[in-house]
Structure formats: structure tokens, C-alpha cells
């Protein structure tokens, strides 16, 4: 418990330096003090074991390896200050669910339904970059502390709070996400996410084309349940992209569409909520064609 006392002292010191609010920087540093990365990783192990019982993973090895490879490719260009984080990429088999989420420690879960709502790797890597950023920026540690307090999180890491671990797993099973992030954290993860994907050579405008599709939908997918509106995010990311020195240009559309075909479900048409309706085969249509909602 000595460690907890040291943490409290350190946090008080940080608090005194930041009386007027130090925003995201303060949040990141506070998380580093309150939840050692090693604790977050330990908790992640418990959660990943439980999630393996709850979620159905894709049994398509080609598709699974593809998602993993793409994840690790973006990760190579992410901030790896916290070397102890253990990133893993899982492909969840649910072609109706437009979703992805990250768990403590670096486990990232991508749903086949997310791929099904996209048209190229620039879009997919934008979301992967965003989820990686939630981990590298310690957003997850911050949310855990906000929700449960630092001492409970330390106990969770030691396996002493199985009830709360169960709650987090239930949240994923029922809602498709584990922790709600703040608006500021979402914005931060959006910005860092496109930095990572662009550094890997991918066109950061993939973020915008994907969110334009989501904005055209009558009801928001799970992925957006805890997020600011697509319009706000597009506006913010557009100005961020404008500031990038040499943004990436890769789309990898052909390779992506071959992989998407393997899902074997009808792609989710832009702006169309009826997943089983007659979606038009217009995924390759010109960019200027508006994604009208119906």
C-alpha cells in the first residue's frame, strides 16, 4: 500500500501544478502516476481471457491475419513510450456490428461489421489508429481511475476485484464498448490516430470518408455511442490533416475489397440502416457522389 500513498502524494503535487487545469497533458501524466502500465497490462490479461468466452472471433485465418498485420503496421508508427503495453489485434465475427474498441493494456477488437461498412484501408487504419491512440495516450487508464478510483484499479490489476472485471466484460457484451471516453479524449485519439496512420503512409482522409458515411446513417452505430457527432469530428480532423506536413496517400482499395468479400455478408451501404435491404453495388462510385441517407 506504500505505492498507493506515493501515488497520492505525486498526484497532489501534480494537482497543485495544474490548479487551472492542464487538459490532456495532465490527464496523461496523472494516468502514468496512478495506473502503472504494468498494472494496466495485468488487468488487460484478465479482461482478454473473459472476452474470449463472450465474443465470437472470426475463424477465417486469412482475414484475421490481415487485420492483425494492419494493426501492427500502424502500431510501428505509433508512440511507443510505454514499452510494456502488449498490443494484440482480434477480429470479432459480427458482420452487422460497426464497431471497434480497445481494452486496458492494448487489446484491440475489430468487428467484421466495421470492415463491411468501409471501402478501403485508409478508412480502416483511421479507426485502428484511433483505438491504438486510446491506449498509448493512456485514455483507458484515465477512464478506469475516473470510474473506480486508483486504489480499486490497483486491486483489479492484482485480480482482487473480479466483480468489476465482470462488469466491464458485460458492458462489452451488451453495449459493444467498455469505457466511455470524454469528448476531449475522443478528439485527442482522433488526432493521434490519423498521425499514426498517415505516418504509415495511409491517406488520413480515410477518417473523413468513413465518418461521412456514418453521418449519413439514420441511427448511430455502436462505435459512436460514446463519441461526439461525426460532423464535429470531421471538422476537427480536417483542420488537423491540413497541418500535416506530408500526409500519406495509400488507400489499398483493391486489397481491402478482396478481404471484405471474404466476410461473405452484404456490405453496409452508405447511409443505409437496413442491412438486409437491397444495397446497391456502388462501393466504387465517384467520391463526389453524396452519400444520401434514406
Of 29-68, binders to Zn ion (CB under 5 A) are none
**Which residues pair with residue 88 across a beta bridge?**
107
Supply the minimum distance, in Å, between the C-beta of residue 181 and Zn ion: 5
Nearest-angstrom CA–CA distance, 141 and 147:
10
Considering beta carbons, is residue 39 or 186 the nearer one to Zn ion? Answer: 186
Nearest-angstrom CA–CA distance, 276 and 163:
38
Residues 225 and 175: beta-carbon distance below 8 Å? yes
Supply the minimum distance, in Å, between the C-beta of residue 277 and Zn ion: 29
Size of the site for Zn ion (CB under 5 A): 1
Cell of 274: 437496413
Supply the minimum distance, in Å, between the C-beta of residue 175 and Zn ion: 14
At which residue does the C-alpha cell 466511455 appear?
Answer: 180
| Residues 6+ away with beta carbon under 8 Å from 281 | none
Supply the minimum distance, in Å, between the C-beta of residue 143 and Zn ion: 11
Supply the minimum distance, in Å, between the C-beta of residue 183 and Zn ion: 10
Of 205-234, binders to Zn ion (CB under 5 A) are none
Supply the minimum distance, in Å, between the C-beta of residue 79 and Zn ion: 16
Of 165-194, binders to Zn ion (CB under 5 A) are 186
Considering beta carbons, is residue 225 or 249 the nearer one to Zn ion? Answer: 225
Considering beta carbons, is residue 42 or 186 the nearer one to Zn ion? Answer: 186
Nearest-angstrom CA–CA distance, 250 and 253:
9
CA 163 to chain centroid, in Å, comes to 25
Of 71-110, binders to Zn ion (CB under 5 A) are none
Considering beta carbons, is residue 154 or 208 the nearer one to Zn ion? Answer: 208
Considering beta carbons, is residue 186 or 191 the nearer one to Zn ion? Answer: 186
Whole-number Cα distances in Å, 268 to 33, 186, 278: 43, 24, 10
Considering beta carbons, is residue 36 or 230 the nearer one to Zn ion? Answer: 230
For the four alpha carbons of 120, 122, 124 and 127, in that order, the dihedral sign comes to: negative
Residues 177 and 217: beta-carbon distance below 8 Å? no
Considering beta carbons, is residue 119 or 186 the nearer one to Zn ion? Answer: 186
Nearest-angstrom CA–CA distance, 67 and 75:
12
Residues 105 and 195: beta-carbon distance below 8 Å? no
Cell of 144: 478506469
| Residues 6+ away with beta carbon under 8 Å from 47 | 103, 104, 105, 107, 165, 168, 169, 178
Supply the minimum distance, in Å, between the C-beta of residue 105 and Zn ion: 17
Supply the minimum distance, in Å, between the C-beta of residue 187 and Zn ion: 9
Considering beta carbons, is residue 120 or 185 the nearer one to Zn ion? Answer: 185
Of 120-149, binders to Zn ion (CB under 5 A) are none
Number of H helices, E strands in the chain: 13, 3
Which stretches of the chain bind Zn ion, using CB under 5 A?
186
Amino acid at each position: 500500500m506504500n505505492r498507493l500513498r506515493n501515488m497520492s502524494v505525486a498526484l497532489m503535487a501534480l494537482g497543485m501544478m495544474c490548479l487551472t487545469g492542464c487538459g490532456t497533458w495532465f490527464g496523461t501524466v496523472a494516468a502514468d502516476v496512478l495506473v502503472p502500465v504494468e498494472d494496466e497490462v495485468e488487468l488487460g490479461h484478465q479482461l482478454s481471457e473473459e472476452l474470449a468466452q463472450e465474443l465470437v472471433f472470426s475463424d477465417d485465418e486469412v482475414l484475421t491475419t490481415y487485420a492483425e498485420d494492419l494493426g501492427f503496421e500502424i502500431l510501428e508508427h505509433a508512440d511507443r513510450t510505454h514499452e510494456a503495453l502488449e498490443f494484440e489485434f482480434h477480429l470479432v465475427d459480427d458482420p452487422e456490428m460497426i464497431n471497434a474498441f480497445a481494452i486496458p493494456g492494448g487489446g484491440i477488437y475489430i468487428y467484421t461489421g466495421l470492415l463491411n461498412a468501409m471501402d478501403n484501408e485508409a478508412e480502416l487504419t483511421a479507426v485502428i489508429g484511433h483505438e491504438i491512440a486510446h491506449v498509448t495516450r493512456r485514455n483507458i487508464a484515465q477512464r478506469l481511475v475516473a470510474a473506480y478510483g486508483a486504489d480499486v484499479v490497483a486491486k483489479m490489476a492484482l485480480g482482487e476485484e473480479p466483480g468489476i472485471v465482470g462488469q466491464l466484460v458485460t458492458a462489452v457484451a451488451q453495449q459493444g464498448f467498455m469505457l466511455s471516453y470524454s469528448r476531449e479524449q475522443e478528439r485527442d485519439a482522433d488526432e493521434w490516430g490519423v498521425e499514426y496512420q498517415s505516418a504509415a503512409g495511409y491517406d488520413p482522409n480515410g477518417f473523413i470518408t468513413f465518418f461521412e458515411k456514418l453521418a449519413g446513417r439514420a441511427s448511430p452505430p455502436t462505435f459512436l455511442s460514446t463519441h461526439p457527432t461525426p460532423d464535429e469530428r470531421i471538422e476537427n480532423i480536417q483542420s488537423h490533416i491540413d497541418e500535416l506536413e506530408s500526409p500519406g496517400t495509400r488507400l489499398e482499395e483493391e486489397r481491402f475489397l478482396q478481404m471484405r468479400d471474404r466476410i461473405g455478408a452484404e456490405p453496409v451501404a452508405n447511409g443505409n440502416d437496413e442491412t438486409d435491404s437491397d444495397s446497391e453495388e456502388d462501393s466504387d462510385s465517384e467520391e463526389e457522389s453524396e452519400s444520401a441517407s434514406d
